[in-house]
Amino acid sequence: MKSAVFEGPGKVEIRELPVPGLEGNQVLVKVKACGVCTWEKRFFAGDGVSPDQYPVRGGHEIAGVVAAVGPDAAPDLKPGQPAVVASLTRCGQCYYCRRGMDNLCVRSAESAQKQEPWGPAGFSEYVLVRDYEVYRISENLPFVEASLAEPLACVCRSVRASGIQASDTAIIMGAGVMGLLHLKLLSAMGVNSIVVEPDHARHSIAYANGALKCIDPVEVPPGDVVSVLNESPGGISGEPFLGFTAAFLTAGGPSAAHYALASLAKGGALVLYGAFHPEHVMNLDLNDIHYREIAIVGSYRHDRQSFRKAADLLSAGTVKVRDLVSVTVPFPEVKRALEIASEGLTDQTPEGENGSVNARPAITRPYRVVVTFE
Ligand SMILES: [Zn+2]
Ligand SMILES: [Zn+2]
């Protein structure tokens, strides 16, 4: 079978590798679509990656068809079934696995498939995974869209962490793929959301996905979002609007976190969804957190429950993601897919002083780039 190997920064080659043999609870999945995510872009750019981590095989947002099933695999898995793959092994026994936090499994790496070169290997004609990593999907769901199950599963976990419910209000920082997936899920749940995004080119897609309002943080300083909404006719509910129930930080650094905190109502929750630059450290007014009873929570990866939910939401069409797929690229041109996805990688919104965001990004980046297979 053919498999794309990241040989080093900027170097991706398609190698001929043996189709892996099956044992135990393993499942062989024929890949139909695989998205390019931040992890792959980092390895492609060599960003924060040490040379001894190459060669590696990227591709963890996998949709495909069950091709073969090991003797001890779950009995309901059969060849021919369309499915998505979680690409995250867990032991099922550790402290975290037993508390619904299997995303934080301490033996995840030990449980991973031993294969050469290492990595999730979704940019391959076949992937070998554990049965519990395979989630069946509807026959009607296109594979390209199904490949967004993995990021949506992360978003399902994030939204659950916030405790938000129907008719509550959310402020989403960033209108990239992750911000828009939050918006789509929250809209489907009946949550009223606004989006904070300096790139005006991204406002129209946010409005099309149910944003009540898109705000440019360059124009509206932190803390003013609440009054802006009160000034718009009817506010959100007709009642005086006091602030948001939850904020989701999908982009930006400490200034975006300050912006989000200043927008929360008392009792609100800030979810730190995205990863941050190691130098992103912020000062917190502890009394502000105390007196306003603010919760700050992290959300990292996905768990089994959130993955099942994401697969179901996509299968049922409750969350539609076609508009997030900017480009599809056939597998033989996988390197081009990585180049397209990486185009805007250095394009970060500069941090301003006093929590302001003082410049707009110059380039509009693509949303998801998805590699497709025959
Ligand atoms: Zn991903
Ligand atoms: Zn575990």
Question: What is the domain-level CATH number for residue 186?
Answer: 3.40.50.720
CA distance 277 to 280: 5
Structurally, how many domains does the chain consist of? 2
User: What is the SS3 assignment for the chain?
Assistant: CEEEEEEECCEEEEEECCCCCCCCCEEEEEEEEEEECHHHHHHHHCCCCCHHHCCECCCCEEEEEEEEECCCCCCCCCCCCEEEECCCCCCCCCCCHHHCCHHHCCCHHHHCCCCCCECCCCCECEEEEEHHHEEECCCCCCHHHHCCHHHHHHHHHHHHHHCCCCCCEEEEECCCHHHHHHHHHHHHCCCEEEEECCCHHHHHHHHHCCCCEEECCCCCCCCCHHHHHHHCCCCCCCCCCCCEEEEEECCCCHHHHHHHHHHEEEEEEEEECCCCCCCCCCCCCHHHHHHCCCEEEECCCCCHHHHHHHHHHHHHCCCCCHHHEEEEEEHHHHHHHHHHHHCCCCCCCCECHHHCECCCCCCCCCCEEEEECC
**Is the model's pLDDT at 238 over the cut of 80?**
no
Q: How far is the CA of 45 from the centre of ligand 2 (A)?
A: 31
Q: How far is the CA of 105 from the centre of ligand 2 (A)?
A: 4
Contact of 277 with 238, CB cutoff 8 Å: no
Q: Give the per-residue pLDDT at 103.
A: 94
Q: Give the per-residue pLDDT at 346.
A: 40
Q: What percentage of the chain carries pLDDT values higher than 90?
A: 81
Residues shown for the chain: 374
Q: Give the per-residue pLDDT at 358.
A: 44
Same domain, 86 and 191: no
Given pLDDT bands bounded at 50, 70 and 90, which one contains residue 42? very high
Q: How far is the CA of 196 from the centre of ligand 1 (A)?
A: 22
Q: Which residues does residue 271 pair with via DSSP β-bridges, in sequence order?
A: 248, 297
**Is the model's pLDDT at 115 over the cut of 70?**
yes
Same domain, 9 and 64: yes
Mean pLDDT lowest among 31-35, 71-75, 228-232, 356-360: 356-360
Pairing of strands 295-298, 264-272: parallel
Same domain, 170 and 291: yes
Q: How far is the CA of 368 from the centre of ligand 1 (A)?
A: 10
Q: Which ligand is nearest to the CA of 151?
A: 1
Q: How far is the CA of 38 from the centre of ligand 1 (A)?
A: 7
Six-digit token pair at 124? 């391959």
Q: Which ligand is nearest to the CA of 90?
A: 2
Q: How far is the CA of 266 from the centre of ligand 2 (A)?
A: 36
Q: How far is the CA of 113 from the centre of ligand 2 (A)?
A: 15
Q: How far is the CA of 104 from the centre of ligand 2 (A)?
A: 7
CA distance 162 to 85: 25
Same domain, 197 and 274: yes
Q: Residue 282 domain-assigned?
A: yes
* Mean local confidence (pLDDT), 207-216: 95
**Is the model's pLDDT at 90 over the cut of 70?**
yes
**Is the model's pLDDT at 131 over the cut of 50?**
yes
For the stretch 158-168, pLDDT in tens is 999 999 999 99
Q: Give the per-residue pLDDT at 231.
A: 78
Q: Give the per-residue pLDDT at 235.
A: 65
* Mean local confidence (pLDDT), 263-290: 94
* Mean local confidence (pLDDT), 35-62: 94
Q: Give the per-residue pLDDT at 234.
A: 60
Q: Residue 171 domain-assigned?
A: yes
Q: Give the per-residue pLDDT at 354.
A: 46
**Is the model's pLDDT at 350 over the cut of 80?**
no
**Is the model's pLDDT at 54 over the cut of 80?**
yes
What CATH number corresponds to the domain at position 83?
Answer: 3.90.180.10
* Mean local confidence (pLDDT), 77-94: 95
What is the value of ipTM here, to two decimals?
0.96
Half-sphere exposure of 169 (CA within 13 A, CB side): 23
Q: Give the per-residue pLDDT at 229.
A: 83
Q: Which ligand is nearest to the CA of 85?
A: 1
> What is the span of the domain harbouring residue 91?
2-148+321-351
Q: Give the per-residue pLDDT at 361.
A: 46
Same domain, 221 and 278: yes
CA distance 232 to 146: 38
**Is the model's pLDDT at 181 over the cut of 90?**
yes
Same domain, 158 and 267: yes
Q: Which ligand is nearest to the CA of 303?
A: 2
CA distance 342 to 12: 14
Q: Residue 22 domain-assigned?
A: yes
Mean pLDDT, all residues of the chain: 91
Q: Residue 358 domain-assigned?
A: no
Q: Residue 188 domain-assigned?
A: yes
Mean pLDDT lowest among 39-53, 97-111, 230-244: 230-244
Contact of 268 with 196, CB cutoff 8 Å: no
Q: Residue 356 domain-assigned?
A: no
